[in-house]
Amino acid sequence: MNSLGLLLATMEPPPAIEEEFQDWYDTEHFPERRDCAGFLTAGRYVCLDGWPKYLALYDLADPLVLQGEAYAAIAVRKYSAWTHRIMAKVWGQYRADARQVYPGNAKMGDNGPAARVALWRFRGAPEAAQAAIVAGLNTLYGDKPETAQCRLFFARQPDGSSDFIALVELRTPRIGETGSVGAFGDAARYVDLVNVYVPYARRSEGSFPAQK
């Protein structure tokens, strides 16, 4: 069985367009991807510790989904004028088109909902760093009741570099002191981002009951 893919994006709107950004993401950009063929899961997250503020994660049936016709119908050359206007203004843009390398075929939420999602980025790390990163993740998070799931992804970037992305789904705000970055050995030098996110919801159902 082929490994699953991942589409990850971070961004933060300037305060002046925050409300329009949420309207765009909630009513156009996110639904297009959530409903696209080959997209298995879709979620938005808000940063509690770190920057940029917003994270979007989509599990893909195969990394090649992003090269398929269904995605081409909503991406790049098919971007709306609204998308072009918003994307030109947001900050902190980062995108990873990635392949799951550990454990290989796990989807977001497979072990239940997560109260927090920890995102680690190993920027410019070579493929040879994979073993050290997996060992470090298992040292920090493995076999702990607070850990719902831990996954690792490898992404080639347009400039020819490569990144590893670790997503750790947690059942609690944190696992005590999450340990030293030294757990990653020589791969620690590639860590350039460690953020903690919570699931985003524009409005929870029933949070503002309609008048009868």
Count: domains in the chain = 1
Confidence label for 61 from pLDDT (cuts 50, 70 and 90) = very high
Q: Given a cut of 80, is residue 203 above it in pLDDT?
A: no
> Does residue 212 lie within any of the structural domains?
no
Residue at 154 is within a domain: yes
Find the largest Cα–Cα distance for the chain.
62
Residue 40 in domain: yes
pLDDT at 76: 86
**Mean model confidence pLDDT for the chain:** 93
Q: Determine the Cα–Cα distance for residues 137 and 5; give it in Å rounded to an integer.
A: 19
- Asked whether residue 205 is assigned to any structural domain, the reply reads no
pLDDT digits (tens, 9 = 90+) for 130-164: 999 999 999 999 989 999 999 999 999 999 999 99
Residue 18: predicted pLDDT: 96
Structure tokens at 49: 């510790």
Per the structure block, which two tokens stand in for 96? 């990873």
Establish whether the linkage from the previous residue to 103 is cis, with ω within 30° of 0. yes
Question: What percent of the chain is predicted at pLDDT more than 90?
Answer: 87
In a domain, 204, yes or no: no
pLDDT at res. 174: 77
What does pTM read for this prediction?
Answer: 0.93
- Give the mean pLDDT of 172-183: 76
Report, as an integer, the average pLDDT of 12-27: 97
**204 pLDDT band (50/70/90 cuts)?**
low
Residue at 211 is within a domain: no
Q: 3 near 155, Cβ under 8 Å?
A: no
pLDDT surpasses 90 at 56: yes
User: What pLDDT does residue 2 have?
Assistant: 77
162 close to 155: Cβ distance less than 8 angstroms: yes
Domain range holding 43?
Answer: 5-199
Residue with tokens 């808000």: 46
52 domain-assigned: yes
Contacts of the segment 134-143: beta carbons below 8 A, 24+ positions apart: 134/102, 135/183, 135/184, 135/185, 136/181, 136/183, 136/184, 136/185, 136/187, 136/188, 137/102, 137/166, 137/168, 139/179, 139/183, 140/175, 140/178, 140/179, 140/183, 141/168, 141/175, 141/178
Which residues sit opposite 12 in a β-bridge? 91
In a domain, 208, yes or no: no
Angle at 160 between CA 103 and CA 136, to 5 degrees: 35
User: The domain that contains 171 carries what CATH number?
Assistant: 3.30.70.100
